[in-house]
Amino acid sequence: MKNLRMKAARAGMDLSQDDLAKLCQVSRQTISAIEKGDYNPTINLCIAICKALNKTLDELFWE
Amino acid sequence: MLIAAYLLIVVIIFCVMRFMNKDKATAKYDEMQELIRGKAYKYAFWTVCLVEVGVLVLGTTGVELPFENETLQFIIILIGIVVHTTYSIWHNAYIGLNTNVKRYTIVCALIAALNFLNAFIAIRSGELFENGKFGFAFINLFIGVIFVAVAAEIFVRNRIDAGEE
């Protein structure tokens, strides 16, 4: 399932996938796969993404 | 003397790896890349097993492959490597986070050129065939082709990725 909340939060901070990937120390393709719902990140990566986007886990990843 | 030569080879490999990666000799991958690479290793392992069994079965049926035995074993290993690299490249898990792509391409081109040169010398001197079968020099030709194919795959994958976001 697509993660549109994460995509919206990233776009809201005016960050590209590449920018967010650098902040989280992962590849751009990993960020792309998470947004498209092709990859379920580990809790460590979820936390890193939340910190980079100033959001909580609930806001970005909880149904 | 031979040990010194082997040590020199190890040092050269370390230096080349350090040249290709930005902060350390080994490539760094993120969690998704590690997962994909694990699958790639699995597929490569089973491919090698299957090809090995296929060769054994062909051997029992009397079919003779046009390769010397050690050449054939090396080719089977290389087929496994091809499966691993191709799967990794197409799933964006081949190039590490700290890999300098430009330097990596230079190293690939150099290795391909050296192998093609060796193969060319073998063809010129008639050493490509041993006892009517492909000898060990064929490996150089095969490795050269692999490196060219890897470079082409990376190029195509990057082109596809460029228009993605």
Query: Into how many domains does chain B fold?
Result: 2
Q: What pTM did the predictor assign?
A: 0.86
| Mean pLDDT computed over every residue of chain B | 90
Q: What is the pLDDT of residues B80-126, one digit of tens each?
A: 999 999 999 999 999 999 888 888 888 888 999 999 999 999 889 88
Q: What is the pLDDT of residue B129?
A: 83
CATH number of A4-54: 1.10.260.40
Query: What is the 3 state secondary structure string of chain B?
Result: CHHHHHHHHHHHHHHHHHHHECCCCCCCCCHHHHHHHHHHHHHHHHHHHHHHHHHHHHHHCCCCCCECHHHHHHHHHHHHHHHHHHHHHHCCCCCCCCECHHHHHHHHHHHHHHHHHHHHHHHHCCCCEECCEECCHHHHHHHHHHHHHHHHHHHHHHHHHHCCC
Q: Say which of A18, A29, A44 has its CB closest to residue B92.
A: A29
- Note whether B117 and B130 are same-domain residues: yes
Of chain B, the percentage scoring pLDDT greater than 70 comes to: 99
Of these ranges, A3-7, B41-45, B145-149, the one predicted with the greatest mean pLDDT is B41-45
pLDDT confidence of residue B165: 64
pLDDT class of B42 with cuts at 50, 70, 90:
very high
- Of B132 and A61, the structure prediction assigns the larger pLDDT to A61
Does A33 contact B165 at a Cβ distance shorter than 8 Å? no
Residue B155 has pLDDT above 90, yes or no: no
Interval B71-88 mean pLDDT:
95
Q: What per-residue confidence (pLDDT) applies to B17?
A: 83
Q: Quick one: B85 and B12 in the same domain?
A: no
Give residue limits of the domains in chain A: 4-54
- Section B34-53 average pLDDT: 97
Is B22 in the same domain as B36?
no
CB pairs under 8 A between A and B: 33
pLDDT at A10 over 90: yes
Residues B5 and B67 occupy one common structural domain? no
Residues of A with CB below 8 A from B32's CB?
A: 26-27, 29-30, 33, 39, 41
Same domain, B11 and B39: no
What was the pLDDT predicted at B163? 72
Residues of A within 8 A of B90 (CB-CB) are none
Helix A43-53 to helix A4-12 angle, to the nearest 10 degrees? 30
Do B88 and B141 have their domain in common? yes
CA atoms B99, B103, B104, B107: torsion sign: negative
Predicted confidence (pLDDT) per residue in A12-23, tens digit: 999 999 999 999
Question: Model confidence at A9, in pLDDT bands (50, 70, 90)?
Answer: very high
ipTM comes to: 0.90
Asked whether residue B54 falls in the same domain as residue B107, the answer is yes
- Domain of residue B75 covers 29-95+100-164
